[in-house]
Amino acid sequence: MERGKNERPKAPSLRWWLIFMVIGCWILPILLFTGAMGYYTVRNLRSQMTDTIVTSVRNAVQNAASAIDSAMEASRASSYDRTVRDSYEAYRRDENGILLYTSITEYLTRQYRYNDVFITTMLFFCDEPETVYYTNNRANTNAYGNVRAYKENVHQTVIDYAALIGTDVRFLENGGRLYMVRNIVDSSFRPYAVIVMELDKEILFQGAANVVWLKGASVSLGGASAVLAGGGAPLEGDGTPGSGIAYTIRDNVYEVRARIAVPPNDVVFAFEVDGAPFVREIGNFRNLILSMAVLAVPLMAYLIVAFNKYVSAPVKSLLSAAEEIRRGKLGFRLETQPKSREFIYLTDSFNRMSASMLEQLEKSRNEQISLQDARIKALQSQINPHFLNNTLEIINWEARMAGDLKVSRMLEALSTMLSAATARGTKSTVYLSEELSYVDAYLYIISVRLGKRLRVSREIDEALLVASVPQLVMQPIVENAIEHAIVPRQRGELILRAYRDGGDLVLEAENDAEMSIADSEAIRTLLQWDGGGGYTPKAGSLGIRNVNQRIKILYGAAYGLTVENTESKTTRARIRLPLIDGSPGALGSAEDELPLS
């Protein structure tokens, strides 16, 4: 079945179209983006947390290995420095124990007192193990207590242990104290003394304390185990790799094992890192993402409600009002007041448009009624304009035959004016020269009546004679000045002007009489009258009102007629028109007519 010519395909509603656009282009992308961002962010955060822990452990282990290696290197210096051996050989020769004590103590102080890794450094000779020489770190004030703890708890173990280690370095742990043991050998690599160093674990393993989220840490050096932080971490188990770092995760706790070789020992670290706080932050972030996704739903609902209130409802009202206009209800007004500035403007514009359409309709009806009345009156008059012209022409020839040239010229002037009046329906504009010919015809007839008591002067720019002007726009103004200012006094002066003012043409008729205040107010009211009821103009005054209305209809509100008193106590009627070239082919030409000769 074909559609009618005026039937349009049904388009979707603006409201539902925008709702679908909001859901498809805003809500769904936000939900998808939020979900994807949450998933990848949580995954990346977990990966970054693991990388951070492993990197922190690796740095701690490497720093500790470097510190252990430096401590071992410092202990090795006692074998290569001949001070200890020379002092002991001198003692063997002269048995001067005081000199030996002084020499060994000074050496230990000079060599190890200022090394912060060593708390107490002790030395004894294999032949006389009961005598222990020592020095304390400058920052430690409990040197005697450290030595006594060593003698009571560790010394015998060190004596037994030293016989087995040869030139290697071994570590012992006792009561939370960590000792490093090394034999001092002669040039034949035979041990003749033993150096024992109590190590400061905080200095030696200070990197371990910097492991992020550390819960506990332990270390094993060649079999000697020590707690580094917290309650320690179990070193047993299968998690320790042959070398490098390995970890397991239990209940968000990372159990990290790291093994590094510091010959001749393997150093094994065990760390417990609590990732729960970070995991809680990840959970908080996940909850935030979910909250944002959930919050998008009420936001969407609010957006739909707001759109319906601020956009859809006003549009619906405008559509309903337009439908009322289409049904012929001109002048229909929207009484609802929208909430947004744009729709307030559209509503006001619609109401003004509706009122204007009603006003134009009323004017059109009034014009139709007036036209009908005019046609009825024309039919009633039953007068043929051509018959009048022919009759005037016959009378004119009779006057010429009788030699009455004055009457002949009056008839010619009257014929000119009658031709202009009866031709107004055939053309709307004429040359200025033709319009002035109508004025001259009227003035000639009046001059016969007033004679020399009427003085007329002209100030006409001849270059403007071909300008296009509305037909009979000047003659009614001149007639009004003659009838209302000069005839009552039976004398007077009239000045006619035509000049250019920018892009405008100005026509003036100035007489030497001054209007009264009442006359001035009456003319002002007449020129502003819209033809409605409540006001009845004086007879003979409609001519200037019609001139003003015709100009404004043709050219707009910027143009028209003004009548006012001048400073010279005269009355000046001024017509302002757009300057339009009336020459043949020009825009707005006077229908390609030539001026009358």
**What are the structural domain ranges in the chain?**
13-313, 330-380, 423-578
Please state, in angstroms and rounded to a whole number, the distance separating the CA atoms of residues 573 and 476. Answer: 11
Among 12-26, 49-63, 202-216, name the one with the lowest average pLDDT.
Answer: 12-26
Q: pLDDT tens digit string along 238-262?
A: 445 556 788 888 877 888 888 888 8
Asked if pLDDT for residue 386 goes beyond 70, the answer is no
Which of 265-279, 302-316, 397-411, 474-488 tops mean pLDDT?
474-488
Strand partners, 93: none
For residue 572, name the pLDDT band (cuts at 50, 70, 90). Answer: very high
Please state, in angstroms and rounded to a whole number, the distance separating the CA atoms of residues 452 and 474. Answer: 23
Average pLDDT, stretch 108-128?
93
CATH topology of domain 423-578: Heat Shock Protein 90 (3.30.565)
Phi-psi region of 574 (alpha: psi -120 to 50; beta: other; left: phi over 0): beta
**pLDDT for residue 381:** 44
Average pLDDT, stretch 333-339?
76
Dig out the tokens for 247 from the structure: 């970890």
Could you give the 3-state DSSP secondary structure of residue 471? coil
- 471: phi then psi, degrees, rounded to nearest 5: -70, 140
Residue pair 116/203 in contact by the 8 Å Cβ criterion: yes
Give the DSSP H or E segment for 194.
strand 191-199
Residue pair 437/423 in contact by the 8 Å Cβ criterion: no
Average pLDDT, stretch 526-539?
60
Average pLDDT, stretch 138-144?
79
Asked if pLDDT for residue 410 goes beyond 70, the answer is no
For residue 115, name the pLDDT band (cuts at 50, 70, 90). Answer: very high
Residue pair 148/222 in contact by the 8 Å Cβ criterion: no
- The total number of residues written for the chain in this structure: 597
Please state, in angstroms and rounded to a whole number, the distance separating the CA atoms of residues 186 and 193. Answer: 9
Cα distances (angstroms) measured from residue 491 to each of 225, 508, 514: 140, 20, 14
**pLDDT for residue 371:** 53
pTM above threshold 0.85:
no
Q: pLDDT tens digit string along 300-311?
A: 677 667 767 777
Please state, in angstroms and rounded to a whole number, the distance separating the CA atoms of residues 176 and 462. Answer: 126
Among 148-152, 367-371, 438-442, name the one with the lowest average pLDDT.
Answer: 367-371
What's the chain's average pLDDT? Answer: 78
In the numeric block, the tokens 């039919």 are attached to 379
Q: What is the largest CA-CA distance in the chain?
A: 187
Dig out the tokens for 138 from the structure: 């400058």
Q: Give 499's DSSP letter.
A: E
Asked if pLDDT for residue 405 goes beyond 70, the answer is no
Count of alpha carbons within 13 Å of 265, Cβ hemisphere only? 24
Buried b (16+ CB within 10 A) or exposed e, 273-295: bbbeebbeebeeeeeebeeebee
For residue 272, name the pLDDT band (cuts at 50, 70, 90). Answer: confident
Q: pLDDT tens digit string along 220-240?
A: 887 788 888 877 777 765 445
Residue pair 175/97 in contact by the 8 Å Cβ criterion: no
